[in-house]
Amino acid sequence: MSKKILLSLAIIGVAAAMVVGATTAYFTSTETSEGNTFSAGTLELSLSGQSAQDFSVNFSDMAPGEWTGEKKLHLKNTGSLTNVVDSIKVSALNYTQSSNSGWVGAKEFAKKLNVKIRRQGKTGFSYDGNLWDLSKSSNGIKDNHEITLNPNEYGSYFFDFQLDKDATNDFQGDSINATFKVKAVQEGQQ
């Protein structure tokens, strides 16, 4: 029996040592960092040095087959994040018929108005087609013709227009008004 008593006492002793060891205190210290702020950056593209109205392309007396000469669209990243201009398209077309012509309509007129868009510093055209196709396109910029703009940086596209050489007398005096929409996305999201 004494073996059982000794074994019991040994178990009680080990349990007591564990309880005493578990309740031993250690010093600790805690610091608090207050006032942490997390702000989202801004993605803002503007027509640099011009309002949206200043890029209005007004060419009158266009003759079939003649190019108008390039018109510069100057852009600036006025936000705090790097952005990528990844699309230029036409968001609205308004047709005006002259009293001297037959009915042509917006679609037919836009199909006879050729457009070339060139990115500053890039060879070749970002877009080379007609205004109608540009209006139906989800993106009028070819791959590798996007402009990456860091905050406060500038970039430009140049537009050139031509009334197609095959435009008939039905187009005389008619006009079309187009709204161009330029879109930029955050870098890495295109």
pLDDT for 90-147, tens place per residue? 878 888 777 666 667 888 888 999 999 999 888 889 999 999 998 888 777 777 788 8
The residues, ordered by sequence, that sit 6+ positions from 11 with a Cβ below 8 Å of its Cβ are: none
Q: Quote the longest CA-to-CA distance of the chain.
A: 127
CATH class of the region 45-186: mainly beta
Q: What is the pTM of this model?
A: 0.73
Residue ranges of domains in the chain: 45-186
The dihedral sign for the CA sequence 154, 75, 142, 184: positive
Beta bridge mates, 186:
83
Nearest alpha carbon to residue 168 among 60, 62, 59, 64: 64
